[in-house]
Structure 1
């Protein structure tokens, strides 16, 4: 027996088709395959999304499945904001899908004028968010990095996020001219006294809104592959139960902070700064599910932008 498609379901399908076509870069033929409809049907769905005003520069329509996941995540982890983006079946991390959504979100935060300073994390996903942002006037907003920005591998330099933000917005952007992790606790103390570092670190700590990524404690983590953290140091984190990382602080499966040998060498804002800020994280992908769950259970996040498959895993 077949059942008629309701108006809400049809609109949900139209929005998903439009997202896949315009946001994901899929052809109408590929959209039809993904949704299990004919090519003519896919063409009509995309056309309807345009007629209904769903497609502008960004996507305003709610996708029913994603909206339900957003509500569930907010209820489960006490979030005030959540956005779940449709799966584009990217290999590895869903960087493009998250970048589109994160870029749109950050643009709104800049435009609404409620933040005089925005603290920003690093990583591939955040770089994608900035890359997908349109050029816009920062309206006096300043950006500051929440952690040290120097690495041994210049090609993986995380403060490039700050450079791109300054280019896109014309805003002042500050980064800490120190590594993410010092070689020792003594080195950290010396670096924190260098000219300009205390001022930038204080600006980062007091930024009322922080936009961050989420790292893992896996040996394949970007911090390890980029040479920011040694394999031995990350193994110590894992042995102590570390699962997820937020601005250089590690947390176990239950969301409790893990005291590691890295803690005394971290050149980032402290836990007190994280506990007294509005924090929205962007992250997703199979390899980050445990890490994202860990950070969610820490209670530090006010908001999360993630992908559909990750969201489903987090609430099941």
Structure 2
């Protein structure tokens, strides 16, 4: 079954007309000629309005149904890693980073979480994949839900994280959204303690601690594409120390080796993120995939921190085929 969501913008302008045309066509089942008649515009303009809505991302398509090969992979991953929830998106042949597939399955999960009524506080990590999920979320309003960042939102030089998603979710979902207004990596453990004692910062941190659902990405540690170093959240020398200690995968600033054992370095005490024991409360669901990610994802899965995994078909196959650690 196809589920089509069309975002209706509040302004009575060309964007609003485009959204209305798309709604009539995709949801109402009207032909483009019928849309033209309903909106009292030429047929050519109706076609352009619908195309414009597609290009602007106002039309989001979700498909409810079962795909045999993906379901089999989901079952294998659930059994192997003790997951309560797993979704595998069909391969779209996108290349090394399947943002369209991951963004779509992540957006559907987010929408269901917002509409389910069970979550009052949802925590979010950051990264390119989560940004893709949020950008594909249909515009709506969920005033009863609060979203909160699960880790510091600035780089070492106090620049904005290019893949922060909190402001984006506030715009897409009409929710209260709280940023952790500090760098991800601090100069010392003492600085971290001082900041956590500050009014406002401690309130955001406490909200992150109380999140019943946490949606996160998974980062690589090996190679030049290690996400935290590439986004300047940590320094190359700090990453090298983690690599030398056997680091393989990362989630919310916590690093793990291939067996899922946490890597402790001098950096660990300086990161502005929830403590590892705090992460074991609530449900944590990762959205991750791509050619560079299987080993990193497997490392985090072996830690047994995750309640769920949303990934793509190629990554799921790679995870199933990877030999066990050691």
Shorter-chain TM-score bucket reads 0.7 to 0.9
Aligned residues: 263
Residue number in structure 1 paired with 2:205: 201
CA change 1:269–1:216 in 2 (3 A) is: same
Partners of 2:269 and 2:209 lie apart in 1 by 17
8 Å Cα contact 2:143-2:174 kept in structure 1: no
CA drift of 1:153 comes to: 7.6
Correspondences of 1:8-27 after superposition (within 5 Å): none
Residue number in structure 2 paired with 1:80: 84
CA drift of 1:226 comes to: 1.7
Residue number in structure 1 paired with 2:290: 285
Flag structure 2 segments of 5+ consecutive residues without an equivalent.
3-25, 27-59, 322-326
Q: Which moved more, 1:85-94 or 1:67-76?
A: 85-94
8 Å Cα contact 1:80-1:303 kept in structure 2: yes
Flag structure 1 segments of 5+ consecutive residues without an equivalent.
1-10, 15-21, 23-55
Residue number in structure 1 paired with 2:305: 300
- Structure 2 counterpart SS, 1:281: strand
Alignment TM-score, normalising by the size of structure 1 = 0.80
User: For 1:190, which of 194, 209, 223 is the aligned residue?
Assistant: 194
Alignment TM-score, normalising by the size of structure 2 = 0.77
User: For 2:152, which of 148, 152, 171 is the aligned residue?
Assistant: 148
User: For 2:124, which of 117, 120, 126 is the aligned residue?
Assistant: 120
Residue number in structure 2 paired with 1:137: 141
8 Å Cα contact 1:85-1:308 kept in structure 2: yes
User: For 2:162, which of 149, 153, 157 is the aligned residue?
Assistant: 157
CA drift of 1:57 comes to: 3.6
Partners of 1:110 and 1:85 lie apart in 2 by 20
Partners of 1:222 and 1:154 lie apart in 2 by 16
User: For 1:246, which of 238, 245, 251 is the aligned residue?
Assistant: 251
